[in-house]
Amino acid sequence: MAIHPDGTVKGGWSADYDAISPRIHYLVMKGDFKGNTDPSKMYGDKEGEDPSKLYFITKGKFLILETNFETNKVRKIVGNIYVVGWLSPDLSAFGRVHVTPDKKTQKIYEWKAVPEKRMPFNWLQLKR
């Protein structure tokens, strides 16, 4: 996910995972989304309000291939994906992914991200 200085947000979601019962394999082939930040929304929790966090909201499309090993059937699931969350000044973020194939049912996943710790540019000394 990328949050640009103009407030636009673009990102993608992919996954490859198995459910145990029933034995189903999920392959998220596509999960692209875009949206924007909303500085007017204030973050709050049991600790109180925190004006340093920036809210963002996005919408997009997803495509999942579901393989059921018990029935030996594969089906394609398509629908809408909504990614919402809060960005902190240290560039950590958290939020929810809402996945809905029909706008009547949905799966909600919580997520969090921490910024990568990058090495300074001069950490690598080239040898000839």
Q: What percent of the chain has pLDDT over 90?
A: 80
Domain contains 29: yes
Cα(3)–Cα(22) distance, rounded to whole angstroms?
38
Question: Model-level pTM greater than 0.85?
Answer: no
The fraction of the chain above a pLDDT of 70, given in percent, is 91
Give domain status of residue 42, yes or no. yes
Which among 89, 63, 97 is positioned nearest to 3, based on CA atoms?
89
* Mean pLDDT of the residues in the chain: 90
CB-CB neighbours of 13 under 10 Å: 18
Q: What is the pLDDT of residue 120?
A: 53
Residues 29, 65: Cα–Cα separation, whole Å: 7
Residue with tokens 């204030």: 42
pLDDT in tens, 72-119: 999 999 999 999 999 999 989 999 999 999 989 999 999 999 887 765
Element (H, E) at 9: strand 8-12
pLDDT tens digits along 99-108: 999 989 999 9
Q: How many helices, marked H, and strands, marked E, lie in the chain?
A: 0, 10
User: Is 50 a residue whose pLDDT tops 80?
Assistant: yes
**Domain extent at residue 34:** 2-123
Q: Specify the number of domains making up the chain.
A: 1
> DSSP string covering 13-69, please?
--EEEEETTTTEEEEEEEEEEEEEEETTSPEEETTEEETT-EEEEEEEEEEEEEEET
62 within a domain of the structure (yes/no):
yes
77 domain-assigned: yes
128 within some domain = no
